[in-house]
A and B are shown apart, each in its own frame.
Chain A
Amino acid sequence: MIYQESEASELRQTMEISELLEVLGKRKWIVAFITVFTALAGFAYSYFLVNPMYRADTTLMVSSSKGTVSADDPASYIDIGRISVNQMIAVTYGEIVKSRVVLEPVIEELDLDMSYEELLDRTVSEPVEATEIIRISVEAESRNDAVTIANKITEVFVEEVVRILKVNNVEIIDRAAATEEPVNMSPVALTAIAAAAGVVIGILVALIVDYRDNTLKSAEDIERQIGIPVIGSIPDFGKMKED
């Protein structure tokens, strides 16, 4: 079994690029088949099983607690300390938006056919980086639904803030507007990604098949692995390989 050990160590050596290309050329149908298969699967999945989703965004601003703004005191208007406090409040409020307190009434009032978790899954609310603004995004299968839910969440949230914190420091900046195009991946893009993955998988499979193919292919194979001389090779022009 000395043969097999030496063979294995040989195989572990890095394959030459030309060898790799030769293997792929020989097994091109495997690669082609797997690529086409995954591309079709990706297309079928995205086209038949995934509904396009639309997103609606609303933005809110945590405004400063109503201080008196006088024309001769601009500093009171732009107060760094107050802004950073507002930023922290924005983070807190972002979390409140996602709480049951807000989302469950929304489900009830709109009579939505989903659980709290499902709605939470479609809702994102977070401060817009380092500002006092909170953005609430809702995804739904129609633009209308997305807008309705986003607006309802905003509305309930504002009410709840007033109820819980006894402050009225949230202002709506933008009412919900839905995206024109679906936000999830288009069938074309997903098919392309699936095809690319198929090429990679196909190449791997081709290499594995080639590695497992333990047939004698050349005169060297016979002399090295069987240990008998080769007295001739008959060419097969029917199987001519393009180089």
Chain B
Amino acid sequence: MKQLIVHEKPKSPISEAYRSIRTNIQFANIDKEMKTIMFTSTNKSEGKTTTISNIALTMADAGHRVLVVDCDFRNPSIHKAFGITNKYGVTDVLLKGKDHKEYLNHIMTHDNLDVLTAGKVPRNPSELLYSNSMRKLMEEFKKDYDYVMVDSPPILPVTDATVMATYMDGVVLVCASGAAEVESTRKAVDSLKKVGANIIGAVLNRTPVKYKEYHNYYYYDDKKTD
């Protein structure tokens, strides 16, 4: 659980930031049944996996039943964040028609948090994600959980995320400050809008912190949340 600062340092300002994202997602859920939420980004390495794992922990802390699903078949990494094995996962469920419950990983620290890793990398990720069995699986998940958080590949290099957005309740776009370019991000958001995705909003990752703010965190505890 190296990347999971929410677990390691629950009092840190970073954990606080994850909790405020949780609050915003909960608010977004008031209007609408928003159970399956896909986390994606414009390009790779903007911090999807870290973001999704930490938010899942805060969701579980708040008493929600949470499932984290790794659908980034091209570069699976959820299992690394939670420090578990990726021997079997989503692809095994889809290709062998097995029950997903066999492959669930229960996270010891939170009895209401489960993780389903990606499994073996398939030859046809996009078709697999577009398949009916995948959609059915998502419906299955909704029966058992309050929130199903899905990790996905980035939007611009491959179509996987756009494909998945068609059957997801909500989409969160992770943007790394100073890395995501305006034009490409705009393109990514456009392609999500084209397929009718419900974009909850963006998470700005790796936001540079000013020394003054840093001070405020520890001495005045008056961080702005808007």
Residues of A within 8 A of B (CB): 213-219, 221-222, 225-237, 239-243
Contacts and interface: CB of A to CB of B under 8 A. Distances in A.
Given A222-B202, A227-B189, A230-B203, 14 more contacts: A215-B181, A216-B177, A216-B178, A222-B175, A228-B201, A229-B200, A231-B24, A231-B28, A231-B172, A232-B21, A234-B207, A235-B14, A240-B211, A242-B211
Contacts of A239: 206, 208-209
Contacts of B185: 216, 222, 226
A208 B198 CA distance: 37
5 contacts: A228-B201, A234-B14, A234-B203, A236-B206, A239-B209
Contacts of A237: 13-14, 209, 214
Contacts of B205: 233-234, 236
B179 A215 contact: yes
Contacts of B94: none
Contacts of B182: 214-216, 221, 225-226
Given A228-B202, A230-B202, A216 B180 contact: yes
A233 B183 CA distance: 21
B204 interface: yes
A231 B175 contact: no
Contacts of B213: 235
B201 A230 contact: yes
B212 interface: yes
Interface of B: 13-14, 17-18, 20-21, 24-25, 28, 47, 51, 172-173, 175, 177-183, 185-186, 189, 199-214
Nearest to B212: A243
Contact of B207 (A213, A214, A218, A225): A218
Contacts of A236: 177, 205-209
A19 to B, nearest CB: 14
B199 to A, nearest CB: 5
Contact of A229 (B18, B178, B183, B201): B201
Contacts of B51: 234
A233 B201 CA distance: 11
Given A215-B178, A216-B181, A234 B210 contact: no
What 5 A-B pairs are tightest by C-beta distance, nearest first? A232-B21, A231-B24, A231-B201, A229-B201, A236-B206
A233 to B, nearest CB: 4
A229 B202 contact: yes
A236 B180 CA distance: 15
B26 to A, nearest CB: 10
Contacts of A232: 17-18, 20-21, 24, 203-204
B210 A241 contact: yes
A131 B138 CA distance: 102
A241 B100 CA distance: 46
Nearest to A229: B201
Contacts of B208: 217, 236, 239-241
B55 to A, nearest CB: 9
Nearest to B21: A232
B202 A226 contact: yes
Contacts of A231: 21, 24-25, 28, 172, 200-203
B175 A214 contact: no
A175 B141 CA distance: 105
A215 B178 CA distance: 5
Contact of B13 (A215, A219, A230, A235): A235
A218 B17 CA distance: 15
Contacts of A242: 211
Nearest to A4: B182
